[in-house]
A and B are shown apart, each in its own frame.
Chain A
Amino acid sequence: MLKIVEIDHLTVQYPDLKALDDVSFSVKKGDFLGIIGPNGAGKSTLFAAMLGLNTKYQGTIKFFGKDIRKSKDYLKEIGYVPQKPMFEKNFPATVKDIVQMGLQHESYVDKIDKILQQLWIHELSKRRIGELSGGQQQRVFIAKALVNDPKLLILDEPVTGIDQQSIELFYSILRELNSKQKITIIWSSHDLDAVNQLANHVACLNRTLFFHGQSDEFFTNEKLVKQYSEASMQEHMHHH
């Protein structure tokens, strides 16, 4: 099977802490990888390195067999949905403007309509992005990520602050993209149950990678699940 992502001995050292310590794993074509870990586990650090936003790391990251330090071409093959995109509430851009941003030409019009329909945001295409609910905005950014026919979709904790109904819809969209359109997905999440239901692979991260494998393996291993739950509980209590 073709390896889409290969991460080899990745270490990210900040002045006062080691955010990632010798992390290695790979993602194959068609995988649906759920990355779980408590707050501050290094999920965002991992994504920043993978997306070329932070180049100060040790180790190697390869996409489609090529080292990302050598070429940024891989970015054209991936779609990224950020955690919570920051923008001005009255930013004068409609849903359609947002989806078209960055595209070179207009030849995508039919495809954009199709994607908007698939994501249930077609009727919103002329509304300003700031007028939409969190769940609707999120689907707009998925649409944006899909418009270039990505081979890989990377989603960073994408359900923070979104209502339950939108979350359900979002999960069914992800499932469809992976199973029907064969898009490889890397998705970081807090929601252990959802990862259990959707992902076929799990990576458990807390500065180091302490599990990576089939999700069945993870969820049938009570010790691992307990360990994870305790780690995130501690984190939770820490925050309150």
Chain B
Amino acid sequence: MSLEILTFSFMHRALISGVAIAILCSVIGLFLVLRRYSLFGDAIAHSSFGGIALGLMAGVYPLWTAYGVSLVSALIITRIKEKYDISGDASVAVLLSSGIAVGLVIIGISGGFTIDIFSFLFGSILLVSANDTILILSLTGIILIIVLLLYRQLLYSTFNEEQAKVSGIPVEKLNYLIVFMAGITVVTSIQLVGVLLISALFVIPNVTAIMYGKGFKQTALLSIFFSIFSVVTGILISYIFDITPAGTIVLLSIGLFAGTLGIKSSGLLSKN
């Protein structure tokens, strides 16, 4: 196989968008994983499926309705967790199924639009347009700047809410900010891996990086590295062998996770 594929402009767009999404998902995912909110990405993604169906039925660009629905769902999850005595995982489970249910009913009512739905379920990174790429890059830039400016506060409220509150950190506002950024990240990433595999990008590189026993910044950088590696290698391999990019990307990151587990159990990494 030659390097010819690197000259295609659709491949440029796919790789650039893919790298941006990889960075975004691993950064936001790290906070979610550490807050024991690993399935939050999944819940938002599933609820955005309802938003996509809504958009397709109404003839609106489906990602716009998905952004709307996912942000509303993110707020609902946070509100439920704060106000009522329902645990985070239970509220995530409720939302996860509601999104799919709404989506299925809408699809049923409109007589089914299978082809479009498939590309949202499983991603279509090779079909990303120039406009999509610009949108992905801008959102990534904005979110990363916010995280860089606030990461010590975000880390503190993630580590221990009560202590952070006592230090005068606006914990509630930061909680909303995190889920808000997670909602945007999820919908932005749908084009890369689709609704069904998004939480893999949030969770697997971070869980892998945490095993290396490093501090916060190094863990974040390791996770970004694993994420970019899986996405770039995944896109290239999938094109060369004509297989699905989403599945390939996720399998590669699972491979890195398994490899790290292997290194760790062989005693080459400290057990802590």
Residues of B within 8 A of A51 (CB): 165-166
The reply to whether A91 and B159 contact each other, CB–CB distance below 8 Å, is yes
Answer yes or no: A98 CB below 8 A from chain B CBs.
yes
Alpha-carbon gap, A97 to B165, bound state (A): 18
CB-nearest residue of chain A to B151? A101
Q: Evaluate contact between B162 and A101: CB separation under 8 angstroms.
A: no
Q: List residues of chain A with CB within 8 A of the CB of B210.
A: 90, 92
With A91-B34, A102-B153 as contacts: A53 and B214 at CB distance below 8 Å: no
In contact, A128 and B215 (Cβ under 8 angstroms):
yes
In the bound complex, what is the Cα–Cα distance between A89 and B211 (angstroms)?
12
> Do B159 and A98 touch across chains, with their CB atoms under 8 A apart?
yes
Within 8 A of A (CB), among B167-211: 167-169, 209-211
Of all chain A residues, which has the CB nearest B149? A104
Residues of A within 8 A of B155 (CB): 93, 97, 101
20 new A-B contacts at CB < 8 Å, known A53-B166, A73-B168: A52-B166, A53-B165, A75-B166, A75-B168, A85-B160, A88-B34, A90-B210, A90-B213, A90-B272, A91-B34, A92-B216, A93-B215, A94-B215, A101-B155, A101-B156, A102-B164, A128-B213, A128-B214, A128-B215, A131-B272
A96 in complex: contacting residue of B166, B215, B219, CB < 8 Å:
B215
Neighbouring A residues of B211 by C-beta, 8 Å: 90
Can you pick out 19 interface pairs between chain A and chain B where the beta carbons lie within 8 Å of each other?
A53-B165, A80-B166, A82-B162, A85-B160, A87-B160, A91-B34, A92-B34, A92-B210, A94-B214, A94-B215, A97-B155, A97-B217, A101-B152, A102-B152, A102-B153, A102-B169, A126-B215, A128-B215, A148-B167
Q: Is the CB of B168 within 8 A of A72?
A: yes
Residues of A near any B CB (own CB < 8 A) = 51-53, 72-73, 75-76, 80, 82, 85-94, 96-98, 100-104, 126, 128, 130-131, 148
Report the minimum CB–CB distance from B181 to chain A (whole Å): 19
- Closest chain-A Cβ to B145's Cβ sits at a distance in Å of 16
Q: Which 3 A-B pairs have the closest CB atoms?
A: A94-B215, A92-B219, A101-B156
Q: Are A52 and B165 in contact (CB under 8 A)?
A: yes
Interface flag for B163 (CB, 8 Å): yes
Closest Cβ–Cβ distance, residue B3 to chain A (whole Å): 37
Contact A128 B272 (CB under 8 A): yes
Determine if B216 and A93 form an interchain contact, defined as CB atoms under 8 angstroms apart: yes
A80 smallest CB distance to B (angstroms): 5
How many chain B residues touch A (CB < 8 A): the figure is 25
Q: Using Cβ atoms and an 8 Å threshold, which residues of chain A touch B159? A: 87, 91, 93, 98, 101
B160 / chain A contacts, CB cutoff of 8 Å? 82, 85-87
Query: A97–B216 contact, CB under 8 A?
Result: yes
Q: Determine how close the nearest CB of chain B comes to the CB of A52; give it in whole angstroms.
A: 7
Chain B, Cβ-Cβ closest to A72: B168
Contacts of A96 in B (CB 8 A): 215
Whether B216 contacts A102 by the Cβ 8 Å rule is no
Name the residue of chain A whose CB is nearest to the CB of B213. Answer: A128
Q: How far is the CB of B169 from chain A (nearest CB, A)?
A: 5
Which residues in A have their C-beta under 8 angstroms from that of B213?
Answer: 90, 128
CB distance from B205 to the nearest CB of A (A): 13
Q: Which of B34, B152, B163, B217 has the most chain A CB atoms closer than 10 A to its own CB? A: B163
A75 touches B167 (CB 8 A): yes
* Contact (Cβ within 8 A) B153 A130: no
CB distance from B149 to the nearest CB of A (A): 10
- Of residues A72, A76, A85, A98, which shows the largest number of chain B Cβ atoms within 10 Å of its Cβ? A98
Contact partner of B167 (CB less than 8 A), chosen from A87, A93, A102, is: A102
Q: Tell me the smallest distance from the CB of A76 to a CB of chain B, in Å.
A: 6
Residues of B within 8 Å of A101, CB to CB, are 152-153, 155-156, 159, 164
Could you give, for residues 202-234 of chain B, a 1 whenever the CB lies within 8 Å of some chain A CB and a 0 otherwise?
A: 000000011101111101000000000000000
A199 to B219, CA, bound (A): 42
Check B163–A97 contact: CB distance below 8 A: no
Smallest CB gap from A125: residue in B: B215
Look across to chain A and name the residue whose beta carbon is closest to the beta carbon of B157: A102
Which residues of A sit under 8 angstroms from B217, Cβ to Cβ?
97
Q: How far is the CA of A92 from the CA of B30 in the complex (A)?
A: 10
- Given known A82-B163, A92-B219, contact A130–B272 (CB-CB < 8 A): yes
**Residues of chain A contacted by B156 (CB below 8 angstroms):** 101-102
